[in-house]
Structure 1
Amino acid sequence: MSSVVSFKAPEDMIEELDESVEEGNFTSRGELLRSLVRNMENKKLSEKAKEDIEEARDQEGQPIDEL
């Protein structure tokens, strides 16, 4: 399922979107915006993974060869 989202942006920002599409980086504004959202989601996942790794490093445990 997909939804339509619209937003207002300054003309120079829209021009930047269009330039990126015209340069062939994306096939449409929509593709560019979906890519930005995916990047935001991946950044959140990366930050969570880093937190999880730090938490694991801080835990005391038994060495695996002693299990």
Structure 2
Amino acid sequence: MSETKNVSFKATKEQIEQIDRAVESGRFTSRGEFLRSLLRKVEDAELSEKAKRDIEEARKQEGEPLDELF
């Protein structure tokens, strides 16, 4: 597991209430878990965008059609 560090940030009252409602609903065990979940979504979106770019780049490359290789 990676090294962890404490982080603090400012948020509006409404944002904190939103986080607390998500925790109180049982979807998250803590404010920290809520925030880590948001970070994972950002990471997943970045990976998805990279995958899309890689696919587009691969489509631009020339080569033999797969059915001609067999």
Q: Moved runs in structure 1, 4+ residues, more than 3 A?
A: 64-67
Question: RMSD of aligned C-alpha atoms?
Answer: 1.0
Task: Name the count of aligned residue pairs.
Answer: 67
Distance in 2, Cα, partners of 1:21 & 1:66: 55
1:62 positional shift: 1.5
Q: TM-score, normalised by structure 2?
A: 0.89
1:65 positional shift: 4.3
Distance in 1, Cα, partners of 2:63 & 2:40: 36
Map of 1:50 onto structure 2: 52
Distance in 2, Cα, partners of 1:27 & 1:33: 11
Alignment of 1:1-67 (within 5 A): 1-67=3-69
List runs of 5+ in structure 2 lacking aligned partners.
Answer: none
User: Could you tell me the percent identity over the aligned residues?
Assistant: 63
Please state whether the residue corresponding to 2:14 is helix, strand or coil.
helix
- Structure 2 letter corresponding to 1:53: I
